C-alpha cells in the first residue's frame, strides 16, 4: 500500500493494471503474499524495487526459514491463525511513520511497545476491519467510512502484556528479517529444533513428558519440531512450544549465528594465507542477504 501511494496509485484496480501490464490475463485480486516468483518479479519490475525489497514486505523470509515457501502455496497452512487476515494498527505510529507494520499482522503481538497502547483491531468509527488490500489504497483512511484512522482512540497496554509483546516482537522481527546469505532452506528449522531440544533437556529433564505439554501439542508434534521435520507442524506449534519452554528464538539462534560467523571468518582468513606476506583484511559477506 505504501508503494502504491508513492507511485500515485489510488485504487487496487490501477495497481493490478500496473503490476500485470504485460500479462495476457489480469487477476481479479492481488494476493497478500506473493504466490509465485513471477509475481514477485512483476512487482519489482513495476516499482523499481529489488525482489529482496518486495519479499521484505511479506512473510516470505519467515516461511523460507522453515522450508515452507510461499511460492508453493503451503505457507497459508503453515502460518494458520498466527497471521490476521486484516490490518491491525497503532494510530499514533500510523500518524508518525505513515505505514502499517508487517509485525502487527501477527496474532501474538497485542500492542505497540513504543506508545504502550493496544493495537486497534478495527476502525473506531464504523467498526469494520481494514483489509490488507482494498479498492481504496490510502494509508490511515478507513476504506469503508473514509474516516481518519489516526484519530482512533486506543487503550493503554498493561505492563505484563507490554513485556510479552517486546519479547515476542524481538523473535518475530528476527524471523521476518532476511536470512543469512549462506543459509540453506530447511537448515534453520533443523538448527532451531536441535536448540529447543537442548534447552528442554537442560532446563527441564531428559524426558519430553516432563515438560507438561499444553493441550495444543502432542509428544509427536514436539518430537517433529525437535528433529527439524516439517509435515503437519505449524508456526502456531512453534510459538506454543516456545512459550512452554520460556525461551526466545533469537537467543537460541544467536549462538548458531555466531558460530557461522566464526566459521566464515576462519574460511576467509585461511584464503588470505600464502600471499607473499601481504596483509589483507578479510571482507565478510553481508549476512542480511540471501539468494533465493
| DSSP track, 193-240 | HHHHHHHHHHHT-SSGGGG---TT--HHHHHHHHHT--TT--HHHHHH
Contact 131, 144 (CB under 8 A): no
- pLDDT > 50? residue 169: yes
- Structure-block grid coordinates of residue 13: 484496480
Phi-psi region of 140 (alpha: psi -120 to 50; beta: other; left: phi over 0): left
How far apart, in whole angstroms, are the C-alpha atoms of residue 200 and residue 208?
Answer: 8
- Structure-block grid coordinates of residue 227: 528433529
The residues, any chain, with a CB within 8 Å of residue 35's CB and separated by 6 or more, are 70, 71, 73
C-alpha dihedral, 228 to 229 to 230 to 234, nearest 10°: -60
Calculate the CA 87 to chain-centre distance: 15
Task: State residue 260's pLDDT score.
Answer: 61
User: Residue 122: in which H helix or E strand, if any?
Assistant: none
Calculate the CA 187 to chain-centre distance: 17
Task: State residue 93's pLDDT score.
Answer: 95
User: Residue 118: in which H helix or E strand, if any?
Assistant: strand 117-118
How far apart, in whole angstroms, are the C-alpha atoms of residue 172 and residue 5?
Answer: 27
Confidence of residue 226 (pLDDT cuts 50, 70, 90): very high
Task: State residue 291's pLDDT score.
Answer: 41
Of residues 289 and 72, more confidence is placed in 72
Q: What is the pLDDT of residues 201-213, one digit of tens each?
A: 887 664 544 556 6
How far apart, in whole angstroms, are the C-alpha atoms of residue 192 and residue 252?
Answer: 7
Task: Provide, rounded to the nearest whole percent, the portion of the chain with pLDDT above 90.
Answer: 36
Contact 7, 47 (CB under 8 A): yes
Calculate the CA 200 to chain-centre distance: 25
Q: What is the pLDDT of residues 61-86, one digit of tens each?
A: 888 888 876 555 677 788 888 999 89
- pLDDT > 70? residue 91: yes
Confidence of residue 274 (pLDDT cuts 50, 70, 90): very low
How far apart, in whole angstroms, are the C-alpha atoms of residue 177 and residue 75?
Answer: 16
What is the phi/psi pair of residue 185, to 5°?
-60, 130
How far apart, in whole angstroms, are the C-alpha atoms of residue 165 and residue 259?
Answer: 28
pTM confidence score? 0.76
User: Could you tell me which CATH number the domain at 185-267 has?
Assistant: 1.10.260
Tell which residue, 84, 91, 200, has the closest CA to residue 151.
91
Of residues 95 and 49, more confidence is placed in 95
Domains of the chain, residue spans: 2-77, 185-267
**Mean pLDDT, residues 221-233:** 88
Of residues 270 and 255, more confidence is placed in 255
Query: What's the chain's average pLDDT?
Result: 77
**Mean pLDDT, residues 152-168:** 92
Amino acid at each position: 500500500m505504501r508503494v502504491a501511494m508513492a507511485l500515485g496509485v489510488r485504487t487496487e484496480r490501477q495497481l493490478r493494471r500496473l503490476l500485470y501490464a504485460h500479462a495476457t490475463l489480469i487477476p481479479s485480486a492481488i494476493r497478500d503474499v506473493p504466490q509465485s516468483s513471477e509475481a514477485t518479479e512483476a512487482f519489482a519490475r513495476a516499482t523499481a524495487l529489488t525482489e529482496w525489497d518486495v519479499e521484505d514486505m511479506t512473510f516470505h523470509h519467515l516461511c523460507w526459514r522453515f522450508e515452507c515457501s510461499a511460492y508453493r502455496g503451503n505457507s497459508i497452512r503453515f502460518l494458520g491463525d498466527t497471521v490476521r487476515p486484516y490490518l491491525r494498527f497503532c494510530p499514533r505510529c500510523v500518524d508518525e511513520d505513515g505505514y502499517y507494520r508487517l509485525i502487527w499482522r501477527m496474532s501474538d503481538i497485542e500492542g505497540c511497545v513504543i506508545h504502550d497502547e493496544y493495537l486497534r483491531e478495527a476502525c473506531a468509527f464504523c467498526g469494520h476491519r481494514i483489509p490488507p488490500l482494498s479498492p481504496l489504497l490510502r494509508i490511515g483512511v478507513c476504506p469503508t467510512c473514509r474516516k481518519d484512522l489516526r484519530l482512533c482512540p486506543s487503550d493503554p497496554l498493561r505492563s505484563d502484556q507490554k513485556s510479552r509483546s517486546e519479547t515476542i516482537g524481538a523473535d518475530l522481527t528476527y524471523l521476518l528479517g532476511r536470512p543469512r546469505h549462506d543459509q540453506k532452506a530447511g537448515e534453520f528449522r533443523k538448527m532451531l529444533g536441535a536448540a529447543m531440544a537442548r534447552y528442554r533437556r537442560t532446563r527441564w529433564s531428559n524426558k519430553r513428558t516432563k515438560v507438561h505439554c499444553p493441550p495444543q501439542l502432542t509428544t509427536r508434534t514436539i518430537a517433529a519440531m525437535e528433529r527439524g521435520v516439517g509435515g503437519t507442524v505449524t508456526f502456531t506449534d512453534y510459538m506454543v512450544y516456545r512459550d512452554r519452554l520460556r525461551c526466545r528464538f533469537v537467543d537460541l539462534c544467536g549462538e548458531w549465528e555466531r558460530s557461522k560467523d566464526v566459521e566464515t571468518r576462519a574460511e576467509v582468513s585461511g584464503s588470505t594465507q600464502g600471499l607473499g606476506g601481504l596483509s589483507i583484511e578479510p571482507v565478510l559477506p553481508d549476512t542480511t542477504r540471501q539468494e533465493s
